[in-house]
Amino acid sequence: MVDDSRTARDVMRLHLSRMGCDAVGLEGADACLAELAKRTPALILMDLHLEKLQGDEACRMVKAHPAGRNVPVVMFTAADEPHEVMHCGRAGADDFLPKPVSQEALAAKVAAVRLSRERAWTGPPRGRGVLLVEGGRFLHTFLGGALEHEGLHVLYAKDLDDAAAQATAHGEKLDGFVVDVSRLPREALALATRLREQFARKPLVLMSRVEEAPDVLARAQELSGAPLLLKRQLGADELLAMVLARLSPGTVPLRAAERVPFFTVVEFNTPGGPTLSGFSHDASPQGLFVRTLTPAREGSRLSLRLVMAGQRTPCEAQAVVAWCNPPGMGSGFRSQTGMGLRLEGMDAQLQQRFVRFVPQSLGFPTASPVRASGF
């Protein structure tokens, strides 16, 4: 625990020791980095306002340290100062706790991290594991990120040989495959043939960013049971929807392809449950993506209190948890820690913000003409 107030460290150390933690109080960033050179902690709690170096800068240094990059960092700051929480999020913090710190909320964060260390990682939730194959920057940035924001756990293959090895190593944990055939179409189709033979019942989505030869189109149709997806002919939202429809028919997407920066401090609770915290970097026409170590269960109905950057008056909303990913130990799969929320009701202020900033939203008219696809 990093705080330049000795009193704060002593109080927090007392709370943590009652939870069964070996709590080490440190005065600042230098002491934190020196301690990381000796051992790797389960959790770092850090105040934003440190004397010599602000907590967000200290967090960046921790995340750049070999022993700290995978350690969850929870920042202490004021919930009614969203710009401060935004600095923490941009520095790589995994969560925050509003001051004064609630013992119940602190205990929930500690319990979530403890559980993630004690529980053996058995793979993605059923139906959520996807292998993304050979597509360069497009697949890794747009499509991979959008699939993660839809709650999927994505395994990235750097080339076709790596894809074959990954499929063999993680086949039981994979629930679908997305293969871009653009670079080496016939070699990629040979890989797709092996995937179809090995995993006959698992969805296989094939796509390309260029016009392919008739024999490639025919073979892609035969292997995947659907036409080859041509990215240049599809908008971002449409492409993601078609990929999801083939990977998981019947799933209603949060339209993560349409997500925009929408920084919000989020406090949430289920009926009768404790008030917990997180923060959002992104919103979509139907959803809010919340980063938190303590996501609510999938299907839970939540009451939200949101404080947006640039405003002090909180907004209120109702939401259903579309997916949740509690913290987990490292694996080759990449996913968002937190939860995706499907917004079901917003107060007038939040609705006004959505009309203004989100490209398409819940039946509201778009504020500008539809953007042309850049793919």
Handedness of CA 357, 362, 365, 369 (dihedral sign): positive
Write down the mean pLDDT value for the chain.
87
Strand partners, 180: 207
Note the pLDDT of residue 202: 96
Answer whether residue 32 is part of any domain.
Answer: yes
Nearest Cα to 290, choosing from 191, 174, 149? 149
Question: What single string gives the DSSP state of each residue in 31-84?
Answer: HHHHHHTT---S-EEEES--SSS-HHHHHHHHHHSTTTTTS-EEEEE-TT-HHH
The answer to whether residues 236 and 264 belong to one domain is: no
Domain count, the chain: 3
Give pLDDT tens digits for 81-98: 788 888 888 889 999 998
The answer to whether residues 241 and 135 belong to one domain is: yes
Answer whether residue 365 is part of any domain.
Answer: no
Query: Is the CB of residue 145 less than 8 Å from the CB of residue 340?
Result: no
Strand order in the sheet with 95-98: 44-47, 73-77, 95-98
**Residue 366 φ/ψ, nearest 5 degrees:** -75, 150
Domain boundary residue, one of 247, 264, 287: 247
The answer to whether residues 187 and 106 belong to one domain is: no
Domain holding 66: CATH number?
3.40.50.2300
Percent of the chain residues past pLDDT 90, beyond the cut? 53
Give pLDDT tens digits for 144-195: 999 999 999 999 998 999 999 999 999 999 999 999 999 899 999 999 999 9
The answer to whether residues 230 and 153 belong to one domain is: yes
Answer whether residue 364 is part of any domain.
Answer: no
For the stretch 120-125, contacts whose Cβ atoms lie closer than 8 Å and that sit 24 or more positions apart, written own/partner, are 121/328, 121/329, 121/331, 123/170, 123/172, 123/173, 123/331, 123/333, 124/152, 124/153, 124/173, 124/175, 124/333, 124/335, 125/153
Answer whether residue 372 is part of any domain.
Answer: no
Roughly how many angstroms between the first and final C-alpha of the chain, as a whole number? 46
Domain range for 209 = 129-247
Answer whether residue 213 is part of any domain.
Answer: yes
The answer to whether residues 210 and 273 belong to one domain is: no
Answer whether residue 374 is part of any domain.
Answer: no
Answer whether residue 367 is part of any domain.
Answer: no
Give pLDDT tens digits for 138-155: 777 889 999 999 999 999
The answer to whether residues 109 and 141 belong to one domain is: no
The answer to whether residues 78 and 161 belong to one domain is: no
Domain boundary residue, one of 80, 97, 118: 118
Domain boundary residue, one of 224, 247, 270: 247
Answer whether residue 1 is part of any domain.
Answer: no
